[in-house]
Homo-oligomer: A and B are copies of this chain.
Amino acid sequence: MYIGIDVGGTNLKAGLVDENGKILAAERMPLGEFQGEGALANSLVDLAEAILQSSGTDLKDIRHVGIGIPGAVAGGDVLYTCNIPMRNVPLAELFQRRLDVPVLLENDANCAAVGEWICGAGRGAKDFVIITLGTGVGGGLILNGKLYTGGGIVGEVGHMVIEKNGEPCNCGRRGCWEAYASATGLIRMTKETMNEHPNSKLWAVTLENGGVDGRAAFQAAEREDAPAKALCKKYVEYLGAGVTNLVNILQPEILAVGGGIAGAPEALLMEPLRDLVARECYPRHAGKLPKIIPAELGNDAGIIGAALLHRAV
């Protein structure tokens, strides 16, 4: 058995995972304020020990602990993290000082890609790309039947410019895919549409939801609101631009779409997305289209993938 830990922005989540990717027990704790690398390593050990205890598992039955980190890793070291102030921290070693078990580190989006590849949307594909539409747009690449890690910072597909000199992005560039295809981008465009259309049903939906969120466009479109329908179409065009780019560069067998927005109605998101890619992608010239499907594992993908990292290297 394996333990997978997902170091998220607000929570640490851990699972006891079997060889088939089934989560047998789970624990979580708030990340809290960053108290230093030693404190973080201690929290990770506490979480692993809580899992062992609650499930009545012996440490010797754990083949390794896999940890997904929101940043870049190299071997057992964290090179840097996005939201937590860590630079060049030997996290695996710090963990093992307290708990003597093999530790594997990997980027969190890569862990999610591995989870979906082994147990979810990417099962059986030699080449698999997953994108995650959340606050940003993340990506993970399984190429030639292996997690592709390049020099440690890969799959930053959200920071692919699709509109030169377009919307500013947090990364410093302008016109990144993330600025349009993320939930954040959709919310921005939803607000713009609301301001242009004071009679749009987007207003009613927003009132019901308690604020503008990534669901409003789809909900109002389902109520046959014309501005919302146009907004959904525009969103899919932006989403499809980047997806088609990835298909043209990497031609995966399967491309999965995860994150909150992936839960939107098929007819408004995945169907028009597939149509657009089928119309525009280069492999269509040889009659080859990738399968484009929703991710399957939701928030569990990161834990499962971290636990099963050994199968993707």
* A79 with B286, Cβ < 8 A, contacts A173-B244, A249-B249 known: yes
Q: Is the CB of B160 within 8 A of A283?
A: no
Q: Do residues A152 and B288 form an inter-chain contact, with CB atoms below 8 A?
A: yes
CB < 8 Å neighbour of A150 from B139, B250, B279: B250
> Which of the segments A161-169, A208-216, A303-311 contacts the partner chain?
A161-169
By size class, the interface of chain A is 35 or more
Q: Apart from A144-B148, A150-B252, A245-B245, what are 4 other A-B pairs with CB-CB below 8 Å?
A: A143-B143, A148-B250, A153-B283, A160-B245
Does any Cβ of B come within 8 Å of A266's Cβ? no
Which among B156, B280, B283 is the interface contact of A282 at CB below 8 angstroms? B156
Chain A, 235-254, CB within 8 A of any chain B CB: 237-238, 241, 244-246, 248-253
Which residues of A approach B to under 8 Å, CB–CB? 72, 79-80, 127, 139, 141, 143-144, 146, 148, 150-157, 159-164, 166, 171-173, 237-238, 241, 244-246, 248-253, 279-280, 282-283, 285-286, 288, 290
User: What residue of chain B has the Cβ atom nearest to residue A165's Cβ?
Assistant: B163
Contact partner of A151 (CB less than 8 A), chosen from B139, B238, B288, is: B288
Pick from B151, B159, B282: contact of A127, CB under 8 Å: B151
B285 close to A154 (CB less than 8 A): no
Q: In the assembly, how many copies of this chain are there?
A: 2
Evaluate contact between B286 and A160: CB separation under 8 angstroms. no
| Contact A150:B282 (CB < 8 A) given known A160-B245, A164-B238, A173-B244 | no
A-B contacts, 10 listed (Cβ < 8 Å) = A80-B285, A150-B251, A151-B252, A151-B283, A152-B283, A160-B160, A161-B244, A163-B163, A171-B280, A245-B245
Give the nearest-CB partner of A161 in chain B. Answer: B241
Q: Which of B79, B249, B283, B286 contacts A157 (CB 8 A)?
A: B249
Residues of B within 8 A of A283 (CB): 151-153
Q: Is the CB of B249 within 8 A of A286?
A: no
Residues from chain B with Cβ under 8 Å of A146 in the complex? 144
- Enumerate chain B residues within 8 angstroms of A237, measured Cβ to Cβ: 164
Known: A150-B127, A282-B153. A160 touches B249 (CB 8 A): yes
Find chain B residues with CB under 8 A from A166 CB. 164
Q: Report the minimum CB–CB distance from A116 to chain B (whole Å).
A: 18
Chain B contacts for A238, CB-based, 8 A: 164
Q: How far is the CA of A170 from the CA of B245 in the complex (A)?
A: 15
Query: Closest chain B residue to A163 by CB distance?
Result: B164
Which residues from B are CB-within-8-Å of A280? 171-173
